[in-house]
Structure 1
């Protein structure tokens, strides 16, 4: 017995040495990507934390450490009520409305394009022209944010040449001469409509791909049992797409918190009127523009922890056991 053990020991040592060499070989390919990630991604985060505790103006290399003074100013001065509170409020509204609207519309369109048509030969199919509709809905994804903003500026024009006013005029609705994005009570809604419009196509294709992985036999069995399309959606499609929906919710939450580009392009005073569309990104931009880079970094740190907390809560609250097919 001992002789056998002695004979078998060297191969195990050779195997262990071979495994270590393989691990070092794989690690050698990770050195450059990890180094680039540390330099280009994590380093700016660390610098933002550092500058948020200084009086840096963005250009002067001679700055002083002031501790938490910038955060104290944000929460105790007029900046809190004029800038920070409206921005947090608007971002919170976007965080709820945009993901809900995009996911609901994308799921509906994906379901219709995959199993919403008439059944043929006992098999459930999508509506006619599904491939064309996928291309049509996905089209906004090929446009840049700037192009989308300019396009919807033309739609929201306050005169008779604005597409929205022209459509309303057909039905006898008077023109909104003050402008759709010049009304503080409407501007945020108008921006969120654009955000939903520009995002639905991508997530429709995303959910369509996820639905394609669901075996057709499950739908056919439900159809034989007499289930309606609504019952099929809520009892089969929705539970099996839960992980995809959770992922979409997280990414859409990040998009909602990062809506500054559209706000900057489409709204008066890049967040107006009367701070009606102010977002956290706009507050950061205003501080940078006014030579208060350290305050902008402090706002960025607040937004970082706000986003991190929300994503952690989303992951925790939506955690469940995987459904096996």
Structure 2
């Protein structure tokens, strides 16, 4: 018996040795290095950077551009999950429960709609950014401004007006994310027994009651996971902002985010120590958000 346990433990250790080693080398090691580089003035060329302690962090918290980036990430952290989940839940409910006889089936053609909703997920983020650059063009060739100008309305600077650019970026992010969560919530809805919806309707429940009293409580675990993933996406957003916006986060830093400032400081200004300090702060923001979200949304599991 003891020998069998030893052999089992040896097999598990041998099986996990390679992936754990790769994880330590390519994931944990860069994190450790980033913490160290954040305490130096390394510019990416010197072999022995000078240790400067917490000077980078002191400069960081007095940097106005950093606080702009933090505000934008914080706004995305609230708005992106909220808007995406609300829209995705609405469409998933329609596709699975909101149509058919007595509201127990999805709307006609729901399978086709799922494919259409999911299509943006197939596109690379950089491709989406380039596409929406054309959609938001401020001249007659823009898909939005062209019809406005044809009607004699002044074109809107979707990416050139500091008051509008952030909302344009948010809209693109929601557009791209919704499809995946429609499919995710649809999978969750498919696991809910139809008998529960039928029994509720026999008792006189309308579609609003079906959603708030049955669908949402039974999908709560899925919604919780979606909120965490979307929050991490909001903190980690980079490609959309860097590719789509003027001046890579402009105009006048009105769309910049922490990831964009990390890249700018590292590869434009060659301030790798300062960029690493930004990365460390972003790491704690992300981990803190995940922990707080999971604790606040914790509830008893509903069995059915």
> Which TM bucket (shorter chain)?
over 0.9
Q: Does the residue aligned with 2:253 lie in a helix, a strand or coil?
A: coil
Bigger radius of gyration among the two? 1
Whether 2:143 is the aligned partner of 1:163: answer: yes
The equivalent position to 1:196 in structure 2, one of 148, 170, 174, is 174
Q: What is the deviation of 1:169?
A: 4.8
What is the aligned partner in structure 1 of residue 51 from structure 2?
Answer: 65
Structure 1 segment 99-248 matched on structure 2, within 5 A: 99-119=81-101, 124-169=104-149, 172=151, 174-176=153-155, 179-248=157-226
CA distance, structure 2, for counterparts of residue 59 and residue 114 of structure 1: 57
Unaligned runs of 5+ residues in structure 1 are 1-14
What is the aligned partner in structure 1 of residue 252 from structure 2?
Answer: 274
Alpha-carbon contact 1:250-1:311 (below 8 Å) kept: yes
CA distance, structure 1, for counterparts of residue 146 and residue 186 of structure 2: 34
CA distance, structure 2, for counterparts of residue 314 and residue 228 of structure 1: 31
CA distance, structure 2, for counterparts of residue 112 and residue 277 of structure 1: 34
Q: What is the deviation of 1:259?
A: 1.7
Whether 2:13 is the aligned partner of 1:30: answer: no
Q: What is the deviation of 1:135?
A: 0.3
Q: Does the residue aligned with 1:158 lie in a helix, a strand or coil?
A: coil
CA distance, structure 2, for counterparts of residue 203 and residue 89 of structure 1: 25
Listed one character per residue, the Cα deviations across residues 165-188 of structure 1 (whole Å, up to 9, x for unaligned) are 134457x461326x2110001110
CA distance, structure 1, for counterparts of residue 265 and residue 127 of structure 2: 26
The equivalent position to 1:317 in structure 2, one of 292, 296, 301, is 296
The equivalent position to 2:271 in structure 1, one of 276, 282, 292, is 292
Q: Does the residue aligned with 2:52 lie in a helix, a strand or coil?
A: coil
Alpha-carbon contact 1:141-1:199 (below 8 Å) kept: yes
CA distance, structure 1, for counterparts of residue 119 and residue 38 of structure 2: 40
Alpha-carbon contact 2:61-2:67 (below 8 Å) kept: no
Structure 1 segment 33-112 matched on structure 2, within 5 A: 33-76=19-62, 80-81=63-64, 83-112=65-94
- The two structures have a TM-score, normalised by structure 1, of 0.90
Alpha-carbon contact 1:158-1:175 (below 8 Å) kept: no
Q: Does the residue aligned with 2:144 lie in a helix, a strand or coil?
A: helix
Listed one character per residue, the Cα deviations across residues 68-118 of structure 1 (whole Å, up to 9, x for unaligned) are 111111123xxx12x111000000000000000000011111110001112
Alpha-carbon contact 1:160-1:175 (below 8 Å) kept: no
CA distance, structure 1, for counterparts of residue 250 and residue 137 of structure 2: 16
- The two structures have a TM-score, normalised by structure 2, of 0.96
| Divergent runs of 4+, >6 A | none
CA distance, structure 1, for counterparts of residue 260 and residue 30 of structure 2: 19
What is the aligned partner in structure 1 of residue 229 from structure 2?
Answer: 251
Q: What is the deviation of 1:17?
A: 2.8
What is the aligned partner in structure 2 of residue 5 from structure 1?
Answer: none
CA distance, structure 1, for counterparts of residue 137 and residue 18 of structure 2: 50
Unaligned runs of 5+ residues in structure 2 are none
Count of aligned pairs between the two proteins = 303
Cα separation, partners in 2 of 1:201 and 1:173, compared to 1, 3 Å? farther
Alpha-carbon contact 2:148-2:155 (below 8 Å) kept: no
CA distance, structure 1, for counterparts of residue 196 and residue 302 of structure 2: 14
